[in-house]
Amino acid sequence: MSDKRKNSDETVDPRVSAAYRDLADERTPGHLDHVILNAARGAATPKWNRAVAWLRPAAWVATIGVCLAIVIEIALLPQQEPDGLVPVAEDALPATATKRLETATPQAAEPAAARPAQKLSRGKLEERQERADEAEASNRMRDPDAQGTVVKDDTASLRLQSAPAPASARELATERYCDESQTVDPHTWLACILELERQGLLDAARLERDLLTQAFPPPELP
């Protein structure tokens, strides 16, 4: 009885297993292998590859943002003071200098691209200052009565002479209105002066005319 029970509990029959093994010899179709393995390879690509899907547009946005920031920065550059110049309080300037600043405001508001030559280096600014000083000295020699007095519509250098202004104000007074390229040739320089006069910037025109006289003595003038 126990043997019979044991046999009935037997769940493994080698003969049945062997017969089944002989029967079941089907193989997976090759096209299924190909499809499934390809799917597995495609799914197993590293996660950073999938992350590229959103990283790429993010990188584009970041690049465009940086480019815009650079363009805006470049556009704002001319509004900054040149090296060595600090903003001067309006009450620290003489009244005529203030007036000159007011008259020069429309031109100062022009974009930097319109006046690229005005970005002068410190050395050139000093050179221009020396020229202005020489012109000032010659004016003083021509008109000794004006020494020590303030002429309201005289050149900026004379105004600076009468009232010692801070260095920044003096540098501001020697600011040029004609481009460096225009001052190379007396004809273009004179055209620039005439243009200044036409615009009503008489002080600036007078300053440029003095400098023109110094740089090109009368025989060279047209």
Partner 1 sequence: MLRYRDGDVAAFEVLYHRHKDPLFRYLLRLCRHRAAAEDVFQEVWGKIIKSRDNYRPTAKFTTFLYHVARNCFIDHIRRNKRHGVTADIEPDSQPHGADCPETLVEKSLARRRLDTALRSLPEEQRDVFLLHEEAGLSLDDIATITDCKRETAKSRLRYAVGKLRAALDDTPETA
The binding site for partner 1 (CB under 8 A) comprises: 8-13, 15-17, 19-29, 32-33, 35-37, 39-41, 43-46
What minimum distance in Å lies between the beta carbon of 54 and partner 1? 18
What minimum distance in Å lies between the beta carbon of 58 and partner 1? 23
Q: Which is nearer to partner 1, 41 or 198 (CB)?
A: 41
Q: Please name which of 157, 140, 141, 138 lies closest in space to residue 206, comparing C-alpha atoms.
A: 157
What minimum distance in Å lies between the beta carbon of 4 and partner 1? 13
Question: What is the distance between the alpha carbons of residues 55 and 49, in angstroms, rounded to a whole number?
Answer: 10
Q: Which is nearer to partner 1, 19 or 221 (CB)?
A: 19
Q: Which is nearer to partner 1, 43 or 113 (CB)?
A: 43
Give CA separation, 196 vs 41, 107, 123, 174, in Å: 75, 10, 26, 16
Q: Which is nearer to partner 1, 10 or 145 (CB)?
A: 10
What minimum distance in Å lies between the beta carbon of 8 and partner 1? 7
Within 10 angstroms of residue 154's Cβ, the number of other Cβ atoms is 20
Q: Which is nearer to partner 1, 42 or 217 (CB)?
A: 42
What minimum distance in Å lies between the beta carbon of 36 and partner 1? 4
Q: Please name which of 177, 171, 169 lies closest in space to residue 203, comparing C-alpha atoms.
A: 177
Hey, what amino acid is at 17? S
Q: Which is nearer to partner 1, 28 or 105 (CB)?
A: 28
* Residue bearing tokens 């000794």: 144
Which structure tokens are listed for 76?
């704002």
What minimum distance in Å lies between the beta carbon of 6 and partner 1? 12
Give CA separation, 80 vs 115, 120, 173, in Å: 14, 14, 17
Q: What is the CA radius of gyration of the chain?
A: 43
